Amino acid sequence: MKHIVILTGAGISAESGLKTFRDSDGLWEGYNIEDVATPEAWARNPVLVQQFYNERRKSVLEAQPNAAHYALAKLEEKYKVTIITQNIDDLHERAGSTNVVHLHGIINRSQSSKNQKLTYPINGWEIKMDEVCELGSPLRPHVVWFGEDVPMIARAMNICAEADIFILIGSSLAVYPAAGLIGYVSSGATKYIIDPKIPTVYNLSGVIKIEAKASAAVPQLVEELINDHR
């Protein structure tokens, strides 16, 4: 069974009403990244950071998967599929995908601020400031902030190297180390990029570029791949 590896970015979630990570003005939901998405921000003003992610979590819970998410789940009928996502929402899982690697964590879990391996499900949309882990340290969002290691990156590199077909969806390839993953894909793999604005990819030939929104292009590509398999 051929292995399809899919790397998704903020563009696929934007069509479900979730803001892309960084707008053209450099802000995320009106905030400077440095004020809400770094370990220093948490040390400086944990109440602001917690409030920011509680609001993001509320938005995620209210959002619904779109046609692109559902189409990717359908691929599992004919292929081995691994989705590597830069997104912190759970829309892939809610659409039915069963093998999802979250590079930057997932917002509906909390994490010990002392030991990143201690994570917990969140009941509802809010982490309260008096909630602590089993070590007694405050709970924070289970999200990788700027300046922190990306624990899943080595696993993601190995997965990309195994791809027979690689599909990049809705990513500007601006955030590293995730942006470097495409470099681990075998030269013999079939490669697709889907985005309204195709990012520049250096030293990579034979890429099929589909300049369109994910909700329109992904279902169409999935149908083609499933028909090819018959």
Residues noted as catalytic: 104
Tell whether the model's pLDDT for residue 24 goes beyond 80: no
Per-residue pLDDT of 5-15, as tens digits, reads 999 998 999 99
- What is the spatial order of strands in the sheet that 100-102 belongs to? 100-102, 80-85, 3-8, 165-169, 190-194, 207-210
Q: What are the angstrom distances between the C-alpha of 209 and each of 26, 65, 190?
A: 27, 24, 11
- The pLDDT assigned to 176 comes to 76
With a pLDDT cut of 90, the percent of the chain lying above it is 79
CA dist., res. 139 & res. 42, Å (int): 11
Give 52-106 pLDDT, tens digit per residue.
999 999 999 999 999 999 999 999 999 999 999 999 999 999 999 999 999 999 9
Burial of residue 15 (CB within 10 Å: 0-12, 13-18, 19+) is buried
DSSP 138: B
Buried b (16+ CB within 10 A) or exposed e, 186-212: eeebbbbbbbeebeebeeeeeeeebee
Q: What is the mean pLDDT of the chain?
A: 92
- Please state, for a pLDDT cut of 70, what percent of the chain lies above it: 94
CA dist., res. 32 & res. 47, Å (int): 15
Amino acid 206: pLDDT: 79
pLDDT tens-digit series, residues 27-56: 677 788 899 999 999 999 999 999 999 999
pLDDT tens across 145-167, in order?
A: 989 999 999 999 999 999 999 99
Reading the block at residue 87, the tokens are: 């997104």
Radius of gyration, CA atoms only, the chain: 18
